[in-house]
Structure 1
Amino acid sequence: MSARRLRLGMVGGGEGAFIGAVHRIAARLDDRYDLVAGAFSSNPEVATRSGDALHVAADRCYTRWEVMAEREAARDDGIDVVAIVTPNHLHVPVARAFLAKGIHVICDKPLGLNLAEGHILAEDVARSGCHFVLTHNYSALPMVREAQRRVAAGELGEIRSIEVTYLQGWLNERAELGDNKQARWRADPLRAGAGAAGDIGTHAWQLAAFVTGMSPEAVRGELLTRVAGRQLDDEVFAEMRYASGARGRLWASQVATGHENDLRLHIVGTRASLTFCQQQPNQLTLLPHDAPAFTVTRNGHGMSAAVAQQCRTPAGHPEGYLEGFAQIYREAADLIQGKPMPLLPGIVDGIAGMQFIARLRESSAQGGSWVTWA
């Protein structure tokens, strides 16, 4: 495939949606995509208004994603890739429909509702020959990539401990009972599958696994529902045990009063430690054993040349959340057009996220006992 702009379709993300706009901004940022089709809503009026607002031709605004997959695959100018920005219960069925038509997929996380359907999707991905990309955007931030490079290079020595926390407070009350569209579907077991474990726990899980390159041999934890009447978990505590002897802890909460989007990673090794905080995404702090602590800044002195190529602005000009998504979209375009992108999250990351939820549920049901990862 030539290096032309890719034709992008979108399922979900219509009027009133949050994450759809984030994906569209990300796709535009590096001028690699044209949004040409969409099933933005099953409501015909909303679908039409959304298409008009996004300058998508009326004959390519669909109310059913099954029809969209069929018709776009039949067009000479049909979409190359689809972005799935729906609630979780539709991720797998929508992805399978487009993969079956030979259309690449960029999907919001988590992978789906459960591990079983994740394995089914993995088989479809392999059979289709298409690419499947999962938008774990935090792992695409330059300072996270810098952390991953330094760990892989052995700068921290042998990893002893991993701690990752993701704290939000926006569901500290039952926002799902009001007109908050995002809260309503995230609190619905049929549409979300899991609560905090899926929505932000999988982000924390993938961040720690991405930077360290490590998977545990066993996990244990608790899924808690702190707000009375809520059907899904809103707080998660987990511990990880690794074959190397390393230990890990994960805490994800949507009821951490006063916290906004507080994702933090701390890794301790025999030679050095590192700390990253998503709310200061342009900084990475290193703490060596026998030298003063120091901070590496995005595109600043001390940052590796390979990671600096990802940066879009000079040092001191902040980049963050949207640029992380944009990096996923940039690398997805490169991947689709034939360039290997080894750090791009995909079906393997999605399966691991579903496995994390499944093992936590198993452990929590057994009172927090250790369960094997495999």
Structure 2
Amino acid sequence: MNRKLRMGMIGGGLDAFIGAIHRLAANMDGKIELVCGALSINEEIAIKSGKALFLNEDRIYKNYEEMLEKEAALPADQRMDFVTIVTPNFAHFAPAMKALEKGFHVVIEKPITLSLEEAKQLKAKVEETGLILCLTHTYTGYPMVKEAKDLIAKGELGKIRKVFVEYRQGWLSRLSEREGNAGAAWRTDAKKSGKSGVMGDIGTHAFNLAEYISGLQVSELCADLNVVVDGRALDDDGAVLLRFNNGASGVLMATQVAAGEENNLSIRIYGEQGGIEWQQQEPNTLLVKWYDKPMEVRRAGQGYLSAIAKQNTRTPGGHPEGYLEAFANLYRNFTQTLAARMEGGSVDASVVEFPSVNEGIRGMAFIENVVRSNESGEKWVSYTI
């Protein structure tokens, strides 16, 4: 295209963490410009945030309804091309549905909605409109995650037998939601976060990563959820036994009360011939362990990597790439896909890809099945959507 794609944003004002992350990621390749926003449910913060980001005052909106109505009424050469939704979980569904109804493509934070039923309705609307939806499961954007996925897809490990995925945080080790921490407050409120705390917030990331890299789907699960911190309303710790559709088994652990841990997401997958190991806190390294030969250490930025890993690598080997770059890869792949669509073309989806509404459906089903299993006397439950 001979211009930047025009982005609007719902949520993500100056008092929010994730909005700034999205803006940095979207700006990284110089292909996107933020042209409008309804940046907070607090009108004063919304206006102040828009001015701080140098938006035109007539495109700083007080709420998302006003924004979507007025943007849709603008001439095609002025209105936004897509909207990014970075609100808390309970405020995902309504703006996403309205955006699609008004003809706008959508980038949305995970989990995709507050419930599985909402996610199904959103999928139906995406299919009805033919518009593009990108779900920001950030960790799928790392080049060495792509490399692991490609290695398994090519069958180099043989049939997959075992999956271990862990996501350990410690930031909710205290009752932070009652100490003025706004992020903790909504994440531990079922009306705003959903049926599960830890599994909705970070367990969905671990689940998505396990399915994404392995290429498998969970068919059954057995879950145990815990409220560790006295006085907390939602689970802050849990473990899930997994069975996959090829017969493999797995274990998923997610906790936000592992005091001293920061953002420790790790995954190990084993097949007949060997296994892989990747950690988010050392993201440029992928360990490949073989049954009958020495372990390999594969590194980002090297010429021997797969095409999909190279597509998502930004710097030469030895230059650290991290969370922001992984996030930016989602935006780059989304915008390449959208730009090609707008010009009547297409991209090679085998290397230019990103999570969609389908991953959103599976993530919401994961949360609901985990809660159902936890509440069941039988424990093992069939995975239903």
TM-score normalised to structure 2 length:
0.95
Distance in structure 2 (CA, Å) of the matches to 1:171 and 1:3: 46
Distance in structure 2 (CA, Å) of the matches to 1:19 and 1:243: 34
Distance in structure 2 (CA, Å) of the matches to 1:29 and 1:293: 35
Q: CA deviation at 1:334?
A: 1.2
Distance in structure 2 (CA, Å) of the matches to 1:229 and 1:368: 28
The question of whether the paired residues in 2 share the 8 Å contact of 1:221 and 1:363 is answered with yes
The residue aligned with 2:111 is 110
Distance in structure 2 (CA, Å) of the matches to 1:190 and 1:177: 16
Distance in structure 2 (CA, Å) of the matches to 1:75 and 1:53: 23
Distance in structure 2 (CA, Å) of the matches to 1:305 and 1:109: 27
**1:323-367 deviations in Å (ceiling 9; x for gaps):** 111000001101212234353101000000000011111100014
The residue aligned with 1:238 is 240
Q: CA deviation at 1:42?
A: 2.2
**1:283-341 deviations in Å (ceiling 9; x for gaps):** 00000111111110001253224422321111100001001110000011012122343
Describe the SS at the equivalent of 2:218.
coil
**1:225-249 deviations in Å (ceiling 9; x for gaps):** 1111111111121011124221011
Distance in structure 1 (CA, Å) of the matches to 2:308 and 2:46: 42
Equivalent of 2:231 in 218, 229, 232: 229
Aligned pairs for 1:151-300 (under 5 A) are 151-193=152-194, 194-300=196-302
The residue aligned with 1:88 is 89
Opposite residue 365 of structure 1, the aligned amino acid is E
The residue aligned with 1:148 is 149
The question of whether the paired residues in 1 share the 8 Å contact of 2:164 and 2:268 is answered with yes
The residue aligned with 2:26 is 27
The question of whether the paired residues in 1 share the 8 Å contact of 2:163 and 2:269 is answered with yes
Equivalent of 1:344 in 354, 367, 374: 354
Q: CA deviation at 1:178?
A: 1.5
Please tell me the root mean square deviation across aligned C-alpha atoms, in Å: 1.2
Q: CA deviation at 1:3?
A: 5.0
Opposite residue 3 of structure 2, the aligned amino acid is R
Distance in structure 1 (CA, Å) of the matches to 2:4 and 2:58: 21
Distance in structure 1 (CA, Å) of the matches to 2:87 and 2:220: 32
Opposite residue 12 of structure 1, the aligned amino acid is G
The residue aligned with 1:366 is 376
Opposite residue 88 of structure 2, the aligned amino acid is P
Question: Unaligned regions of 5+ residues in structure 2, if any?
Answer: none
Describe the SS at the equivalent of 1:302.
coil
The residue aligned with 2:5 is 6
Q: CA deviation at 1:220?
A: 1.0
| Residues matched between the structures, number | 373
The question of whether the paired residues in 2 share the 8 Å contact of 1:110 and 1:199 is answered with yes
Opposite residue 202 of structure 1, the aligned amino acid is T
Q: Which moved more, 1:37-46 or 1:324-333?
A: 37-46
Q: CA deviation at 1:368?
A: 6.1
Q: Which moved more, 1:83-92 or 1:329-338?
A: 329-338
The question of whether the paired residues in 2 share the 8 Å contact of 1:173 and 1:227 is answered with yes
Opposite residue 315 of structure 1, the aligned amino acid is G
Describe the SS at the equivalent of 2:92.
helix
Question: Unaligned regions of 5+ residues in structure 1, if any?
Answer: none
The question of whether the paired residues in 1 share the 8 Å contact of 2:216 and 2:246 is answered with no
**1:166-200 deviations in Å (ceiling 9; x for gaps):** 00000000111122121111111111113111110
Opposite residue 363 of structure 1, the aligned amino acid is S
Distance in structure 1 (CA, Å) of the matches to 2:170 and 2:323: 19
User: Is residue 42 of structure 1 aligned with residue 41 of structure 2?
Assistant: yes
TM-score normalised to structure 1 length:
0.97
